């Protein structure tokens, strides 16, 4: 990979200053960015490490909201959110493999917004709020297509706040080689409605499946969405699965997620 300047700020303010430099890029756990840089698909001039910034690591519940620091690893979320928001902890415990989960961070995953990543489904399916050094962004506004988000180039995800649902479940059908989601579905039931978010499947990236939400709002059961599938016109088609297959999986996994809510 090409060399770069490296900086490891201690505060969000210092990080924001460093991110203002030309060609600066935030470095979370680097589990996507480092392989990407090795392939020279990315060549940032300055890397700003997020791993040692005060107040950006941790999991805390305040009332019915779970707040996760932007530099918190998947392994820590899996452990520390297990009692507070088990559906989200289970999602975190299935990302990558144990070594990847010990480095990869929620802020890194959401900032990258890989169309097959797990966290975007958890955030959108929960109606989370992404907090940056500049503002709060609701998940509905945050995700804007494959690898596209509402973040400005120099913006840093400092934390993510999740409303804790009555119940939630994430189901992932893994692409067997990469173990990324061929299709993943996060379903969450709140007292004021159901949210269903789909990752991996679509050309538009993570998105809500509103038809299923409507059906589940009146009857939160597998039978309410019996026979339904996603819209094949929007789905990714590649050697791992046709658009029709992915659309079918969206239906199957949503039913499994609803069943998994118990």
Partner 1 sequence: MPTITMNVNGAPVSVEVENRTVLSSALREGLGMTGTHIGCDTSQCGACVVHVNGKAVKSCTIFALEADGADVETIEGQAHADGSLNVLQQAFQDHHGLQCGFCTPGMIMSAAALLKENPKPTEAEIRDYLEGNICRCTGYQGIVDAIMAASGQSTAIAAE
| Chain contacts with partner 1 (rule: CB under 8 A) | 1-6, 8, 27, 30-31, 34-35, 37-38, 47, 49, 51, 75, 96-100, 102-103, 179
Specify the residue, 173 or 245, whose C-beta has the smaller distance to partner 1: 173
- CA atoms in the 13 A half-sphere facing the CB of 234: 20
How many whole angstroms from its chain centre is CA 220? 24
Shortest Cβ 141–partner 1 spacing (Å):
31
Closer CB to partner 1, 156 or 212, in the complex: 156
Shortest Å, Cβ 39 to partner 1: 8
- Residue 13's φ and ψ, nearest 5 degrees, are -65, -45
Tokens found for residue 257: 């997620």
Decide whether 100 or 232 has the Cβ nearer to partner 1: 100
**Least separation in angstroms between CB 6 and partner 1:** 4
- The answer to whether 235 touches 246, Cβ cutoff 8 Å, is yes
Least distance to partner 1, CB of residue 231, Å: 32
If the CB atoms of residues 49 and 72 are measured against partner 1, the closer one turns out to be 49
Mode of pairing for the β-strands spanning 24-27 and 46-49: parallel
Q: Which is nearer to partner 1, 102 or 203 (CB)?
A: 102
| Helix (H) / strand (E) containing 113 | none
Three-state DSSP class for residue 197 = strand
- Least distance to partner 1, CB of residue 19, Å: 17
- CA atoms lying within 13 Å on the CB side of residue 211: 10
Please identify, using beta-carbon distances, which residue of 79 and 204 lies nearer to partner 1: 79
- Cα Rg of the chain, angstroms: 18
Burial of 216 (0-12, 13-18, 19+ CB in 10 A): buried
Smallest distance from partner 1 to CB 25, Å: 13
């Amino acid at each position: 990979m090409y060399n770069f300047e490296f900086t490891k700020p201690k505060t969000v303010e210092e990080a924001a200053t460093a991110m203002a430099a030309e060609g600066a890029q935030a470095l979370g756990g680097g589990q996507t960015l480092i392989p990407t840089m090795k392939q020279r698909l990315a060549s940032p001039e300055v890397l700003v490490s997020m791993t040692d910034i005060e107040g950006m690591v941790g999991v805390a519940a305040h009332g019915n909201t779970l707040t996760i620091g932007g530099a918190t690893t998947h392994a820590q979320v899996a452990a520390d959110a297990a009692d507070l928001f088990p559906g989200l902890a289970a999602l975190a415990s299935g990302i990558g493999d144990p070594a990847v989960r010990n480095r990869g961070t929620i802020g890194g995953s959401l900032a990258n917004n890989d169309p097959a990543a797990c966290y975007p489904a958890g955030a959108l399916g929960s109606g989370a709020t992404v907090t940056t050094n500049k503002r709060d962004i609701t998940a509905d506004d945050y995700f804007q297509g494959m690898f596209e988000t509402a973040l400005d180039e120099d913006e840093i995800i400092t934390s993510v706040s999740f409303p804790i649902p009555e119940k939630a479940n994430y189901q992932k059908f893994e692409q067997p080689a990469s173990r990324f989601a061929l299709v993943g579905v996060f379903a969450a039931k709140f007292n004021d409605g159901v949210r269903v978010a789909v990752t991996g499947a679509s050309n538009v990236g993570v998105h809500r499946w509103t038809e299923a939400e409507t059906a589940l709002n009146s009857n939160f059961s597998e039978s309410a969405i019996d026979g339904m599938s996603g819209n094949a016109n929007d789905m990714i088609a590649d050697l791992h699965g046709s658009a029709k297959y992915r659309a079918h999986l969206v239906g199957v996994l949503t039913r499994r997620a609803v069943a998994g809510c118990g």
